[in-house]
């Protein structure tokens, strides 16, 4: 039997092309998937003819309303149920598909998902996680901005959910978890992180490491770093800025002389190695952690390769039954 996924074809900077091409690409790797694609049928039916595999393994369901990237979540909530995004989300709620994937407006997607798919009882706002390249492979960082202010209990929930998410996607048996802080000693930080520390160190089902600092996100030693959405968002974007600065500066240096340009040609495979290690497309696709169903956010700027990666994340989480695991683990800390 095929696994059914619902796609918001109209969300993201490269929609609908990246969505359709990404789905077609994914089918070449895994033909046991069927897509229910929501969006403007007149446009999609024409485009889909170009994709042999997708044409045979999909159904287009019409919606003529699109949630734009700058629409406020409150407006999306009032009017968004019949948008391509809203209909794709509802498709999971009524049981037609196992997961929804959208590259559209994050705030609107989160708000609609929360109302339509519901979150677990103890979860206020679902957390957004992301894998970050690190010296030892990848580190999971959460929350990335959904929960600006957090209680110690929120951080404990992030630890529980992040641990389960990391285990299923990275095949790490018992992921180590750290709380982001300004120092590693127990006395450091504010009351929220210190109380979360005290709660986590008594829990048997979490492999708790203790406090970690900002550089530990990329330098190890933990698998999962939990923090509130403010610091998580600041850290993520600060790191993206440095990666961009590094590439730009190196490019300037490489273009500064003829000798350097020759050097670049010789070193090309080394640069490709770095580029591949940091390629955001391979890290694309994050589950809203805390919802009772699987909703995956693809980055708004993702191309077809990035979108295909988000589909692969969805399938892995379905196959590994992450929802059962999350519900069980959250009950233990509720």
By three-state DSSP, how is residue 222 classified?
coil
Q: Shortest approach of a second copy to residue 215 CB, angstroms?
A: 3
Distances (CA, A) of 197 to 5, 11, 180: 38, 39, 10
Nearer to a second copy, 134 or 154 (CB): 134
Shortest distance, position 206 Cβ to a second copy, whole Å: 22
Query: What tokens were used for 119?
Result: 């979150």
Nearer to a second copy, 42 or 270 (CB): 270
Do 37 and 58 contact (CB within 8 A), yes or no?
yes
Task: Report, in Å, the least distance between residue 139 CB and a second copy.
Answer: 10
Quick one: which of 187, 180, 182, 176 has its CA closest to 209? 176
Q: Specify the residue, 26 or 131, whose C-beta has the smaller distance to a second copy.
A: 131
Query: Residue 32 or residue 246: which is nearer to a second copy going by CB?
Result: 246
Closer to a second copy by Cβ: residue 41 or 194: 194
SS3 label, residue 279: coil
Minimum separation from the CB atom of position 124 to a second copy (A): 15
Cα(19)–Cα(8) distance, integer angstroms: 8
User: How far apart are alpha carbons 89 and 115 in whole angstroms?
Assistant: 10
Smallest distance from a second copy to CB 240, Å: 5
Q: How far is the CB of 69 from a second copy (least distance, A)?
A: 13
Closest distance to a second copy from the beta carbon of 302 (Å):
18
Cα-Cα end-to-end distance for the chain:
36
- Tokens 């690190």 correspond to 134
Q: Which residues of 8-36 are buried (b: 16+ CB within 10 A; e: fewer)?
A: bbbbbebbbebbbbbbbbbbeeeeebbbb
| 315 token code pair | 């399938």
CA distance 31 to 91: 21
Identity of the residue, 82 or 182, whose beta carbon is nearer to a second copy in the bound complex:
182
Yes or no: say if 316 and 169 are a contact pair by the CB < 8 Å rule.
Answer: yes
Dihedral (CA of 227, 115, 322, 2) sign: negative
Q: Which two tokens stand for residue 51?
A: 């994709």
Query: Checking phi first, is residue 95 left (phi over 0); if not, alpha (psi -120 to 50) or beta?
Result: left
Q: In the complex, which residues of this chain contact a second copy (CB under 8 A)?
A: 133-135, 145, 148-149, 180, 182, 189-190, 213-219, 227, 229-231, 233-246, 248-250, 252-254, 256-257, 259-260, 262-274, 277-278
51 vs 271, which CB is nearer to a second copy?
Answer: 271
Choose between 272 and 327: whose C-beta lies nearer to a second copy: 272
Closest distance to a second copy from the beta carbon of 239 (Å)? 5
Reference 200, options 243, 244, 156, 232; nearest CA is 156
Tokens at 122, concatenated: 């103890």
**Of how many residues is the chain composed?**
334
Q: Which CB atom, from 149 or from 173, has the smaller least distance to a second copy?
A: 149
Least spacing, CB of residue 130 vs a second copy, in Å:
13
């Amino acid at each position: 039997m095929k696994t059914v996924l619902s796609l918001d074809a109209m969300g993201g900077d490269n929609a609908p092309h990246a969505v359709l091409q990404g789905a077609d690409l994914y089918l070449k790797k895994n033909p046991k998937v069927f897509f229910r694609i929501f969006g403007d049928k007149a446009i999609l039916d024409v485009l889909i003819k170009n994709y042999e595999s997708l044409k045979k393994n999909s159904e287009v369901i019409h919606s003529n309303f699109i949630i734009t990237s700058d629409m406020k979540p409150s407006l999306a909530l009032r009017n968004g149920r019949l948008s391509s995004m809203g209909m794709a989300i509802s498709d999971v709620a009524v049981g037609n598909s196992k997961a929804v994937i959208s590259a559209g407006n994050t705030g609107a997607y989160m708000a609609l998902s929360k109302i339509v798919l519901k979150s677990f009882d103890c979860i206020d706002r679902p957390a957004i996680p992301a894998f970050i390249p690190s010296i030892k492979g990848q580190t999971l960082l959460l929350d990335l901005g959904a929960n600006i202010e957090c209680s110690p209990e929120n951080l404990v929930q992030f630890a529980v959910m992040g641990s389960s998410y990391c285990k299923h996607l990275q095949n790490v048996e018992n992921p180590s978890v750290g709380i982001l802080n300004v120092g590693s000693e127990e006395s450091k930080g504010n009351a929220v992180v210190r109380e979360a520390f005290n709660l986590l160190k008594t829990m048997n089902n979490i492999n708790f490491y203790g406090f970690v600092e900002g550089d530990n996100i990329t330098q190890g030693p933990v698998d999962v770093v939990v923090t509130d959405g403010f610091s998580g968002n600041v850290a993520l974007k600060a790191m993206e800025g440095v990666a961009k600065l590094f590439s730009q500066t190196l490019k300037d240096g490489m273009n500064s002389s003829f000798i350097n340009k020759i050097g670049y040609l010789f070193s090309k495979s080394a640069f490709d190695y770095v580029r591949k290690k940091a390629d955001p497309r391979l890290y694309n696709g994050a589950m809203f952690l805390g919802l009772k169903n699987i909703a995956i956010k693809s980055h708004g700027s993702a191309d077809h390769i990035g979108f295909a990666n988000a589909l692969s994340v969805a399938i892995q989480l379905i196959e590994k039954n992450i929802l059962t695991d999350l519900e069980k683990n959250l009950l233990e800390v509720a």
